[in-house]
Amino acid sequence: MNHSFDQMPDDARLWVYQSNRKFSSLELDDINSSLREFLASWAAHETALKSAYTLYYDQVIVLAVDESSHGASGCSIDASVAFMKSLEQTYAISLLDRTQIGFLIDQEIRVLNLSKIKEAIISHKIKAEDIILNNSVSSVAEFKKSWYQTVNQSWCKKYIA
C-alpha cells in the first residue's frame, strides 16, 4: 500500500539504498514507476504494508513502513531486497554495497569505497565539515535527525588529525 513519505510517522521502519551513481532522468521515471508498483503489492503474511518511498539527489532510495497496523516480516524484507537486486541488474547499479559511503559535497553525492576514506580525510579531499550520509538509520525519526552528519561528528572523526 503506497502512501506519502511525508505522512510516515517518526517510528516507521526505514531502509536507505544508495546507488553508486546518479540515475538518469529516464531511469528515474522507470524507477519511480517500479517503486510505486512494488509498494502497491508489498505485503507481510498476505497483509498489505503501509509503506512509502522517496528519492534523494537522484541517487538514494528510501523505503519506509508504518508498522503500527502491521509490521514488516522476514519474507517481506526479503522481497524488498530482491526488488532492489532487480533494480541493480536492470540499471547496472549497486544499491546493496555498504562499503560504498556517500558524502554530500556541493549538493552532489560523491561515493567513496570504505577502504579509501582514511586516505581521503588525511589528504583533505574530504574535510571535517563535509557531510557524510548515515545510511544505517532505521527509522524515520533517525533519518530526519542523523542521516546527514558532518565528518567530524561521524564514525570518520577518528581519521581527523
Cell of 14: 526505514
Question: Does residue 14 sit in the same domain as residue 62?
Answer: yes
Question: Does residue 73 sit in the same domain as residue 123?
Answer: no
Q: What is the pLDDT of residues 26-76, one digit of tens each?
A: 999 999 999 999 999 998 888 889 999 999 999 999 999 998 877 788 888
Question: Does residue 144 sit in the same domain as residue 76?
Answer: no
- Per-residue pLDDT, averaged over 138-152, amounts to 97
Report if pTM > 0.85: yes
Neighbours of 10 (CB within 10 A): 11
Separation of alpha carbons 148 and 135, rounded Å: 9
Which of 91, 115, 135 is the C-terminal boundary of a domain? 91
Q: What is the pLDDT of residues 82-134, one digit of tens each?
A: 999 999 999 999 999 999 999 999 999 999 999 999 999 999 999 999 999 99
Domain span holding position 152: 100-159
Question: Does residue 21 sit in the same domain as residue 82?
Answer: yes
Q: How far from 84 is each of 17, 80, 88, 149, CA to CA, in Å?
A: 8, 6, 6, 25
Quote the number of domains for the chain. Answer: 2
Q: For residue 65, what pLDDT is reported? A: 94
pLDDT surpasses 70 at 1: no
Which of 91, 113, 141 is the C-terminal boundary of a domain? 91
Which of 91, 126, 150 is the C-terminal boundary of a domain? 91
Separation of alpha carbons 19 and 59, rounded Å: 5
